[in-house]
Amino acid sequence: MREKSQDPSPQASATRGGGVLSPSLRPGLILCLGNPDRGDDGVGHLVGLLLREQVPQHVVIEYQDGSALELLERLHGVDSALFVDAALTGAPPGTVHVFDCTAGDMPAAKPGASSHGLGIAEAIAMARVLHELPRVCRLYAIEGVNFTPGASISAAVRVAAEKLAAMLACAAMV
Amino acid sequence: MARRTINVDVLARVEGEGALRLVIQDGKLRNAELRIFEPPRFFEAFLRGRACMEVPDITARICGICPVAYQMSAVHAMEDALGISITPEIRALRRLLYCGEWIESHVLHMYMLHAPDFLGYDGAIEMAKDHPDVVRQGLALKKTGNEILRLLGGREIHPINVRVGGFYRVPNRRELRGLRDALQRARDASLSTVKLVAGFDFPSVERDYEFVSVHHPDEYPFNEGRVVSNKGLNITPQQYDANFEEFHVKRSNALHSRRVGHGAYLTGPLARYSLNSSLLSPLAREAAREAGLGPTCNNPFRSIVIRAVEVVYAFDEALRIIDAYEEPDRAFVDTPIRAGIGCAATEAPRGMLYHRYRVDAAGTVMEAKIVPPTSQNQPSIEEDLRDFASRWLELPDDRLSHLCEQAIRNHDPCISCATHFLKLDVVRA
């Protein structure tokens, strides 16, 4: 995944990117991706759990493992979607990478990958080709460091998750 | 001495991680190997010491594409060990669940993994740029299969509603009938899938396989029947171990299989169809006939047509089961625990899946053996490669390599499923 920011603060990423969320980016659907049993890969789920405590029930928060075809199916007819996932790029743990999926601002999809290797990049690429991409579609990927099965989420990653959840909650309340 | 080596380091559009190696020397094919380097996953070892009732949920985790197959072989084997018979209503619901998985898995393979070979694309995303409606149709069909799994299995990946003796919860008649309209539309669409794939160009090759599949006298095989072949085999699943053996080859983290005294054999759509085509529904038989299939098929490149026909059958069978459904009084039969050995063979989308368990008097699993279809098919896949590549040696490397990859994809190998074995040699000085 391409690195977007070296700053662990989601707010700092937001400032450089012109605002993580403006009112027009208010999420209709928040998809939290990853495997909560694999250390920092569970950060998407953690952000979802933190958000659930902070946002009204009408904000739809769902959890998926990140399989492309299931994501693609879920995006059908959705106007606004935010993804939260873990990343592994070599950036400092807790760095928040922000991708505007509608701007083609995504890591390249892998051509010819097995279905086991089809993830969010492939789902976004396919949704774009099929004109199924939500009008608003962003990916927040928090840099992880420890993906060991059974491990807990690293301290820096947890801090970033809390900040990102707070910011997404603010946007959802606008 | 002219030596030409073609390595495909990572096979694309197969489930899991494998590689292909061809060695051509002095214009002759010297070696063709399917290498499976995905790490072993030790499921048989994980199962030892676990309660027999946990087995369907643990084995479902072997595969995200065909978890139902693992659950079905597990529950039937465990019921065999415990001496339990299920009710006809539960049996029908299990067939319905299997219909959902066949639809999901076959459609995924046809549209996302295999069709790009025939239409000349690197993958489904590239294919979707020129054929968006084809891909949309595939996604819609797969979604219908997902809905069966969601209703009966509790969720579409790694279902959680299957238990030894039946289900944790069975749907009521109204819930099942809620699937009906979508299934009917999808069945109509699946007929156009058969027409689409039947129009592809297929290399003109055939092989004299020993086909092996489950066979039941009254129905196209899913859950129950004898294990038969076109070369004289006709046994119960309990006789499987006496007739088949697994063996290790250095290049593969998945055990190979052979029929004792015979050698390589093939399971999967080609085998299933060739041994059971007369048992398809009239609509599926007609679709097969219109697609140019005879009662048997020995060209593995045409497996995509058979998958399409089996999808028609799965929709047809699902509708038949839903129309005949009467909600059972109980979701499962009692499961009194006893010591025993149980075996079962069922038909996963990509071929026959054999399970054998030994449980003690407390219901603890003492031994587990799981033989996935991809393990069984590896020697035949390599024989395909040796046979077909020898005919194509004049082709440039990239074309030869692609055709060989396609020859592997013909069998929809699930490498992740196959690499679960534990082989441990202890040498003591």
Tell me how close the Cα of B85 comes to any Cα of chain A, in angstroms: 36
pLDDT at B14: 59
Q: Return the DSSP state at B359.
A: E
CA distance, residue A161 to nearest chain B CA (Å): 27
If phi over 0 gives left and psi between -120 and 50 gives alpha, with beta otherwise, what is residue B165? left
Which pLDDT does position A121 carry in this prediction? Answer: 86
Candidates A114, A120, A128: best to mutate against B (most CBs of B within 10 A) is A114
Residues contacting residue B199 through CB under 8 Å, at least 6 positions apart: none
Tell whether A63 is within 8 A of chain B (Cβ). no
Taking only the tens place, the pLDDT of each residue in A119-153 is 788 889 999 999 999 999 999 999 999 999 899 99
Sorted by where each starts, the structural domains of chain B and their CATH numbers stand as: 3-36 (no CATH), 43-418 (1.10.645.10)
Classify burial at A92, counting beta carbons within 10 Å of its beta carbon; exposed 0-12, middle 13-18, buried 19 or more. Answer: middle
| B199 in A contact zone (CB under 8 Å) | no
Q: Return the half-sphere exposure (C-beta side, CA atoms, 13 A cut-off) of residue A174.
A: 14
ipTM reported for the complex, 2 dp:
0.80
Q: pLDDT for B70-96, tens place per residue?
A: 999 999 999 999 999 999 999 999 999
Stretch (H or E) spanning A80: strand A80-87
Q: Domains plus CATH for chain A?
A: 10-173 (3.40.50.1450)
Q: For residue B153, what pLDDT band results from cuts at 50, 70 and 90?
A: very high
- Rounded to an integer, what is the distance from CA B32 to the centroid of its chain? 24
Position B13 pLDDT exceeds 90: no
Q: Do A111 and B125 touch (CB under 8 A)?
A: yes
Contact with chain B for residue A108, Cβ under 8 A? no
Q: What is the nearest CA distance from A123 to chain B, expressed in angstroms?
A: 9
Separation CA B400–CA B29 (nearest Å)? 12
A79 and B CB contact within 8 Å: no
Q: In the block, which residue shows the tokens 């608003």?
A: A136
Select from B286, B235, B289 the least CA-distant residue to B262.
B235
Q: Which of the residues B14, B65, B108, B125 would you substitute to probe the A interface, choosing the one with the greatest number of A C-beta atoms within 10 Å? A: B125
Look at phi and psi of residue B172 and say left if phi exceeds 0, alpha if psi is from -120 to 50, else beta: beta
CB spacing of A73 vs B143 below 8 angstroms: yes
Q: Is B65 on the interface with A (CB under 8 A)?
A: yes
What's the pLDDT at A24? 44
Is residue A135 exposed (0-12), middle (13-18) or buried (19+ Cβ within 10 Å)? exposed
DSSP 8-state code for residue A143 = E
> Could you tell me the CA-to-CA distances from A67 to A115, B64, B65, B73 in Å, in that order?
8, 10, 11, 25
Q: Does the beta-carbon distance from B123 to A112 stay under 8 Å?
A: yes
pLDDT tens digit string along B226-243?
999 999 999 999 999 999
Contact status of A70 with chain B (Cβ, < 8 Å): yes
Residues of B (134-173) whose Cβ lies below 8 Å from A? 135-136, 139, 142-143, 146, 156-157
Contact (Cβ atoms closer than 8 angstroms) between residue B153 and residue B208: no
Gap from B333 CA to chain A (nearest CA, Å): 33
Say what the pLDDT of residue B426 is: 27
Is 0.80 surpassed by the pTM of this model?
Answer: yes
Over residues B196-255, the pLDDT tens digits come to 999 999 999 999 999 999 999 999 999 999 999 999 999 999 999 999 999 988 888 888
Q: Which two tokens stand for residue A62?
A: 């769902």
**B122 touches A at CB < 8 Å:** yes
How far apart are the C-alpha atoms of B280 and B294, rounded to whole Å? 13
Measure the CA–CA gap between A63 and A84, rounded to whole angstroms: 10
A150: helix, strand or coil: coil
Residue of chain A minimizing CA distance to B13: A114
Answer with the residue of higher pLDDT: A108 or B142: B142
What residue in A sits closest to B413 (Cα-Cα)? A114
Q: How many CB pairs under 8 A join A and B?
A: 62
Which of B146, B203, B164 has its CA nearest to residue B78? B164
Query: If you count them, how many residues does chain B have?
Result: 429
Report chain A residues whose CB lies below 8 A from the CB of B136. 130
Q: Is B52 in contact with B82 (CB distance < 8 Å)?
A: yes
Q: With beta carbons under 8 A apart, name residues in chain B contacting A73.
A: 139, 143, 146
